[in-house]
Amino acid sequence: MMAVYDLADPTMRLPQQLVVDTSLLLALRPMDDNPRAAAAQAFVRRMGEWITNYEMVAWLPLPVLQECYHVILANSLRRIWEAMDTTTRPPNWVKVYKDQPDLLRACTPELSRFRALLAAIPMTPVTPENLVTSAVVEPLEERMHHFITTYRLFPQDALILAHAERLGVYAVATLDRDWRRASAFDVYTCL
């Protein structure tokens, strides 16, 4: 059983490597409404210093980036849909997107701002090559299923843990409380 650490504690020693989760990164956006945004921002500033001093590697798995982009674009499209006339608008934002995919262009400035924010953090993207060198031989799908059933996590979170395991990294930073059940990992979160 690994440990749960309070990422808001500025005296806590950071691990040499960790995998970052979607919730932590989304909370970095200016005016984010996550009540733990200030703690996440302070943690990432501290993490950035450690990375710059070669004391730590923060891994950014592609599923995390995909989920961040999805949340940002979906929220932007939802706002566009909500601003439409209620008597003539489609039943939901997904229908608006499917019928008018060019509306996505209106959402790209927010996506660009997020990408610029991430570029300022010296994280290491996880590449397929990073995932091949692991001692874990089970397919990612099998490990994802294991983490779903063992820790009762949604597939996206389970896939992120499968990536972390494949990297040989057993420390993750998240704002999601459900990750505390991942007892094979050190979880850095707000307590």
Place of tokens 């001093």: 53
Distances (CA, A) of 114 to 29, 72, 106: 7, 9, 15
Closest CA to 173 of 15, 32, 62: 15
Bridge partners of 58, per DSSP, are 18
pLDDT number for residue 133: 67
The DSSP call for residue 98 is H
Nearest C-alpha neighbor of 167 from the set 59, 83, 14, 81: 59
Tokens encoding 84: 């439409």
Q: Is the pTM of this model over 0.85?
A: yes
Name the token pair of 167.
Answer: 């990297």
pLDDT along the chain (191 residues), means of 10: 90 96 96 91 96 96 96 95 94 94 94 94 88 77 96 96 94 95 96 87
